Amino acid sequence: MIQLGKYCRGFRGGPSDMREVTDGIRERAGDDSLGTQTRLRDQTLPYRAVGRGDVSLSPTLVMVENSEQTMTKRKIIVLIFLPVLVFYVSLFLGRYTISPLDVVQILLSKIFPVEPTWPKTMEVVVCTVRLPRVLLAMVVGAGLSISGASFQGMFRNPLVSPDILGVSAAAGFGAAMAILLSLDSTMIRIFALVFGLAGVAMTYSVSRVYKTTPVLMLVLSGVVVAAFFSALIGATKYVADPYEKLPAITFWLMGSLNLSSINNLLSTVPVIALGSVGLLLVSWKINILSMGDEEARSLGVNTEVLKGVIIVCATMITASAVCVTGLIGWVGLIIPHIARMFVGPDHRRLLPASLSIGACYLLAIDDLARTATSAEIPLGILTAGIGAPFFAYLIRKTKGAWT
């Protein structure tokens, strides 16, 4: 009566197999009595534990229909609304207590004419202090994560982060030098940006052989350039005045969002947005590039142009993030992995997911940085200090199954 063996073969495969199975069951159940249907369902249930558990075999089998699509839709909804939620919560978190309702009213008053029922200070805190910082945290977190995800695909290496080409070390040296020369904060940013870009240009030119840039050469050159600039950072620290400048350099190198302002936001957002759009446009090509340079070329992909586009976009993003916030490590390394656990390895989904999760992560970390203690905690300490144990938990839990 029931060929259960046929239906349950290869069950470990996941949702799609599950759908096949239930399709089969429904077909049979259609021209059968209700009794059989119940029996079938009962006999299928134990296998739920074997599958990934993505599919809920609810009492009405019809609900299982297109469960895969429903899952994808649900994930998309989470990825869109999670950042909105974290954004909203972040605006009323902080030393200065503001009620969630006031936050909404203050924000709405910027668009619609609303009679203010709140003190002026509150509006200043929300709009001038918190809003730029919250938005900058989101944009930087999103930017670092999408560059990390793109680089991991391009370098075919899950250990790669956005600073693999030396952008962070070089930008760090630029900033340290500007601090050493007693320049103002605008000049510190410009120095960081220029040196960051120059560092990547150096890496690129060192790695160029026979008119190509093999991935391994890029990685090695990146390590060389980063080591060189790290040495220079060490040198600037060594000669810096230990009471004023050394702490400033150290603090900058640990990263912080406390310099956020509307101006910073306006200079950073367009660059990161542009870079992200560029990466999203080539996201399918990153899939192909991740199969290896030679294979990608055999499929007609101009790998040099493609790698150039990815490097330029990711460097634009990272350099403009680093020059405003200082060095924020670790985000660009782990967020792509978390995104991959969530949506799989296809870069067409991975890159948008990295944007969303990265924005949430850095914002949540920054909320912690500014609210946990009365003094602000440098971001670099928290991104790794919290991120590392959390990531350890995730890789233990999934046992590396997503790679």
Partner 1 sequence: MVASIRLENTAFSYGEKEVFLGISLEVHKGEMVSILGSNGCGKTTLLRCIQGELRLKQGRVLLEGKNLSSMTPVERARKIGMVFQEHSALFPYPVLEVVRMGRAPHLGFFARPGARDTNISEHALERVGVLHLRDKAYTQISGGERQLVLIARTLAQEPEIMLLDEPTSHLDFKNQVLVLKIMERLSKEGLSIVMTSHYPNHAFLFSSRIALMAHGKFHAVGNPDEVISPENLGAIYGMEVRILTANDPESGDIIKFCVPVRKDQAELTHN
Q: How far is CA 34 from CA 29, 37, 55, 65, in A?
A: 7, 5, 22, 19
The residue among 73 and 348 lying less far from partner 1, judged by its C-beta, is 348
Q: How far is CA 258 from CA 102, 252, 308, 332, in A?
A: 23, 11, 33, 20
Footprint of partner 1 on 316-355 (CB under 8 A): 344-346, 348
Amino acid letter, 71:
M
- The length of the chain, given as a count of residues: 403
Q: According to the binding rule CB under 8 A, does residue 300 interact with partner 1?
A: yes
Instruction: Tell me how far apart the alpha carbons of residues 325 and 258 are, in angstroms, rounded to a whole number.
Output: 8
With contacts defined by CB under 8 A, how many residues of the chain interact with partner 1?
A: 31
Instruction: Tell me how far apart the alpha carbons of residues 163 and 176 are, in angstroms, rounded to a whole number.
Output: 17
Footprint of partner 1 on 245-284 (CB under 8 A): 281-282, 284
Which three-class secondary structure state does DSSP give residue 326? coil
The residue among 9 and 110 lying less far from partner 1, judged by its C-beta, is 9
Q: According to the binding rule CB under 8 A, does residue 298 interact with partner 1?
A: yes
Residue partners of 284: CB distance under 8 A and separation at least 6 = 347, 348
The residue among 128 and 302 lying less far from partner 1, judged by its C-beta, is 302
| Token pair listed for 115 | 């009679």
Residue partners of 300: CB distance under 8 A and separation at least 6 = none
Strand partners, 366: none
Span near partner 1 by CB under 8 A; candidates 123-131, 199-207, 245-253, 291-299: 291-299
The residue among 175 and 282 lying less far from partner 1, judged by its C-beta, is 282
Site string for partner 1, 186-215 (x = CB under 8 A): ------------------------------
> Residue 378 has what DSSP assignment?
P
Footprint of partner 1 on 30-49 (CB under 8 A): none
Instruction: Tell me how far apart the alpha carbons of residues 172 and 315 are, in angstroms, rounded to a whole number.
Output: 14
The residue among 345 and 385 lying less far from partner 1, judged by its C-beta, is 345
Span near partner 1 by CB under 8 A; candidates 159-167, 215-223, 294-302, 324-332: 294-302
Q: According to the binding rule CB under 8 A, does residue 69 interact with partner 1?
A: no
Q: According to the binding rule CB under 8 A, does residue 295 interact with partner 1?
A: yes
Span near partner 1 by CB under 8 A; candidates 40-48, 73-81, 290-298, 364-372: 290-298
Cβ count near 59 (within 10 Å): 7
Instruction: Tell me how far apart the alpha carbons of residues 47 and 59 are, in angstroms, rounded to a whole number.
Output: 15
Q: According to the binding rule CB under 8 A, does residue 288 interact with partner 1?
A: yes
The residue among 178 and 350 lying less far from partner 1, judged by its C-beta, is 350
The residue among 244 and 295 lying less far from partner 1, judged by its C-beta, is 295
Footprint of partner 1 on 138-177 (CB under 8 A): 153, 156-158
| Token pair listed for 380 | 């670099």
Q: According to the binding rule CB under 8 A, does residue 234 interact with partner 1?
A: no
Q: Which candidate, 319, 212, 196, places its Cα nearest to that of 267? A: 319
Instruction: Tell me how far apart the alpha carbons of residues 147 and 171 are, in angstroms, rounded to a whole number.
Output: 16
The residue among 17 and 367 lying less far from partner 1, judged by its C-beta, is 17
Residue 348 CB, nearest approach to partner 1 (Å): 7
Residue 308 CB, nearest approach to partner 1 (Å): 12
The residue among 269 and 291 lying less far from partner 1, judged by its C-beta, is 291
Residue 162 CB, nearest approach to partner 1 (Å): 18
Residue partners of 276: CB distance under 8 A and separation at least 6 = 142, 143, 146, 313, 317, 351, 355
* Residues in touch with partner 1 (CB under 8 A): 13-14, 16, 153, 156-158, 281-282, 284-285, 287-288, 290-292, 294-295, 297-302, 305, 344-346, 348, 402-403
